[in-house]
Structure 1
Amino acid sequence: MCVVALAHRVHADWPLILIGNRDEFHARAAAPLHAWEDGSGIVAGRDLQAGGTWLGVHGPSGRTVVVTNVRGAMPDPAKDSRGALVSDLLRGEGRFADPSAEDLPRFNAFNLFAVDGGAARLLTNRPVPLIVPLEPGVHALANEPVDAPCPRAERLRAALETVVAAGADPASLLDMLMAEDDPALFLRGDIYGTRASTLALISADGRARMTEHRYEAGGRPAGTTALEFHIGS
């Protein structure tokens, strides 16, 4: 996931709105958005190479997590999986269910939003390991260090902020994420590009909606999954 925006406790209908594009090599196998069948309660796509995920919601609790990588940092295959960090945070169980700043260098470079109930946090290990609580508002991340300007993250943040201010339907943002006139948000590469656009919504009364548009090489549509469920059910 290379650009993502979070509206935390500021939309009248949806106190949680999470939207973003995942950019990845097209050859890296992934399962579409689904309720995992391992008893974890996770609803997410799944990286079939490492077994984790990049964005998901935990159905029983409503915990919501998304991760991006950080450009310019050489991956170290000996480090722990960032997707496993997301999975542990979603489940609230496992080695990294409640990581400290000292744990964060164990992973390749990343930025991450984690929402649990009324609390939201930013976790990152670039430029330094950091865990920061987020105030209600609209926040955005991309694959840049959090202290660096990022025009595409700001573009998506501003678009989500407009939706929030108008009390509008956030689903309109999915069209923006694949706009042909905005290559900064949607990458149409044949080898590496945008693989999925995902929108996750949770209402004040616990209704959850998730929509995932998938793409293959060149940005060609490869399917859509839309799920609705109730947190805690």
Structure 2
Amino acid sequence: MCIAAMAWDAHPDWLMVVAANRDEYHVRPSAPLARWDDGSGILAGRDLQAGGTWLGVAEAGRMVLITNYRAPGYPQPDRASRGQLVVGLLAGQTPGELEIYNPFNVLIANPRNSSILTNYPDTTREPLPSGVHGLSNGAFACPWPKTRQLNTALAQWLAQESPGDGPQATATLFDALRDDSPPPADPLESDGPEPPYAPVFIRNPVYGTRCSTVITVTRDGHGLIAERRFDAEGNPTGETVLPFRWPTG
């Protein structure tokens, strides 16, 4: 997962809205979004190489997504799988030592609150206020230009859409996630992404956007998670849409 925007408690009708792209090597095997058959209540894709996931929801009332944090000297191949950390958090487990993982940022939400968890440069977990929050592969407090671009798209969507518009309401968010135009140059940006990875949608035959995911949860707990998948040329290869329900009260 390389970019995500989350609207948390920022709309009278929507409790949470997430729009995210997973960027990964195209040769890395993965399974599409599905309701897992292990009794966990998890709805997510699955990394078939390490067994974890990059983003998912649990019907017990949890959402977790992770992005890698680009830092000097990392990643180190002998470290534990960050995808397994996501699975544990979705299952409601308390994470252990986070220093065993390569650097990451994690967004966590449930029907009552949301937070940002990171292990770089130090392990911290902070609650998130109501609003639109963005995450990419750098420091949460210093969003990259493409992160601000996606945040703006999500904020504009919130101003126009409502639950009564049904599943088709997410079409605009998928369009925003498919934007492969570089964001405007920021003269104040001193530590941003390298040019090939600047767009929201990365079209690259080796390492690029593998899937886009949109999650919506209404105030009364009705949720929808939708995933669109892409091949190495950036062409759509499939879509999965799954309803779920979060407990309220």
TM-score normalised to structure 2 length: 0.85
1:66: Cα distance to partner? 0.4
Q: Report the CA distance between 1:164 and its aligned residue.
A: 2.0
- 2:134 and 2:140 in contact (8 A); partners too: no
2 CA distance for matches of 1:26 and 1:209?
26
Aligned to 2:231: 216
Give the Cα separation in 2 of the matches to 1:119 and 1:227: 23
SS of 2:70's partner is coil
Identity of aligned residues (%): 43
Answering whether residue 189 of structure 2 is matched by residue 193 of structure 1, we say no
Supply the AA of the counterpart residue of 1:155.
Answer: Q
1:167 CA displacement: 4.3
Cross-structure match for 2:88 = 88
Is residue 175 of structure 1 aligned with residue 171 of structure 2?
no
Are 1:131 and 2:146 matched, yes or no? Answer: no
User: What displacement does 1:180 show?
Assistant: 4.1
- Amino acid paired to 2:126: V
**Cα distance change, pair 171–127 in 1 and its aligned pair in 2 (3 A):** farther
After the TM superposition, which of the residue ranges 63-72 and 190-199 deviates more from structure 2? 63-72
- Give the whole-Å Cα distance in 2 for the aligned partners of 1:172 and 1:10: 18
Which is worse superposed, 7-16 or 132-141?
7-16
Structure 2: segments with no counterpart, 5+ residues: 163-168, 183-197
Which aligned pairs between 1:51-66 and structure 2 lie closer than 5 A?
A: 51-59=51-59, 61-66=60-65
CA distance in 2, matches of 1:192, 1:229: 31
| Comparing 139-148 and 39-48, the one that deviates more | 139-148
Q: After the TM superposition, which residues 103-122 of structure 1 pair with which residues of structure 2 at under 5 Å, given as runs?
A: 103-122=97-116
Question: What amino acid maps onto 1:213 in structure 2?
Answer: R
- 1:154 corresponds to 2:148: yes
Residue 229 of structure 1 aligns with which residue? 244
Match of 1:164 in 2: 158
Instruction: Give the total of aligned pairs.
Output: 225
Distance apart, 1:213 and its partner CA:
0.5
Q: Please report how far the alpha carbon of residue 128 of structure 1 lies from its aligned counterpart in structure 2 after TM superposition.
A: 2.3
1:109-148 CA distances to partner (integer Å, 9 max, x unpaired)? 1111000221101001223221101111110000112243
Q: Secondary structure at the match of 2:233?
A: helix
Secondary structure at the aligned position of 1:217 is classed as coil
Match of 2:10 in 1: 10
Q: 5+ unaligned residues in a row in structure 1: which ranges?
A: none
**2:69–2:137 contact (8 Å) kept in structure 1:** yes
Report if aligned partners of 1:63, 1:117 keep a CA contact under 8 Å in 2.
Answer: yes
Q: Deviations over 1:89-113 (max 9, x none)?
A: 1111xxxx2237xx22221111110
Q: Give 1:25-64 correspondences, 5 Å limit.
A: 25-59=25-59, 61-64=60-63
Moved runs in structure 1, 4+ residues, more than 6 A?
A: none
Aligned residue for 1:10, secondary structure, equals: coil
Aligned to 1:98: 94
- Do the aligned partners of 2:116 and 2:125 also contact (CA within 8 Å) in 1? yes
Does the aligned pair in 2 maintain the 1:114–1:121 contact within 8 Å? yes
Structure 1 counterpart SS, 2:159 = helix
Distance 2:245 2:119 in 1: 33
Contact 1:68–1:111 (8 Å) recurs in 2:
yes
The answer to whether the 8 Å contact 2:180/2:202 transfers is: no
Residue range with higher mean Cα deviation, 138-147 or 32-41: 138-147
Change (3 A) 1:8 1:149: closer
> How many angstroms does 1:231 deviate by?
2.8
**CA deviation after TM superposition for structure 1 residue 229, in Å:** 2.5
Mapped to 1, the partners of 2:244 and 2:111 lie a distance apart of 17
Maintained 8 Å contact 1:127/1:147? no
